[in-house]
């Protein structure tokens, strides 16, 4: 793991976890770290990106799909469709004057 910088700003890098021995294989988790620092604090986000498997025959890197982006995209699409539906409902109804007001104004 790399040392944490005290400078303000954005930084992104990959780290490797501790290797695990299982069934004659060595499995190493790999994660991406995104850091955003400012003078009063920091935000650090860790996300798994892959698993590296070492076998006697070679090394294989198995990627882990990022579902966070898909979830955020689905949420934003749903929000946009909701706003669109509400605006269409208001447009169809138009400005309405109640029947009581019409009778009084005559």
The per-residue pLDDT for 68 is 84
Residue 70 parent element (H or E):
helix 67-93
Q: What residue segments make up the domains of the chain, in order of their start?
A: 1-63, 66-94
Per-residue pLDDT of the chain (106 residues; tens, 9 = 90+): 445 556 789 999 999 999 999 988 999 999 999 999 988 899 998 899 999 999 988 999 999 998 888 899 999 999 999 999 998 888 777 666 555 555 555 5
CA 4 to chain CA centroid, nearest Å: 23
- Looking from the CA of 39 toward its CB, the CA atoms found within 13 Å total 0
pTM beyond 0.75: the answer is no
Which is nearest to 64 in space by CA: 31, 22, 33? 31
């Amino acid at each position: 793991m790399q040392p944490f910088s005290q400078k303000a700003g954005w930084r992104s890098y990959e780290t490797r976890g501790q290797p695990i021995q299982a069934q004659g294989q060595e499995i190493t988790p790999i994660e991406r770290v995104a850091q955003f620092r400012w003078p009063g604090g920091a935000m650090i986000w860790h996300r798994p990106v892959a698993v590296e498997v070492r076998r006697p025959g070679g090394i294989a890197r198995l990627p882990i799909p990022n579902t966070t982006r898909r979830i955020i995209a689905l949420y934003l699409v749903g929000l946009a469709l909701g706003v669109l539906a509400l605006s269409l409902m208001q447009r169809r109804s138009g400005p309405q004057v109640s029947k009581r007001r019409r009778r009084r104004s005559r």
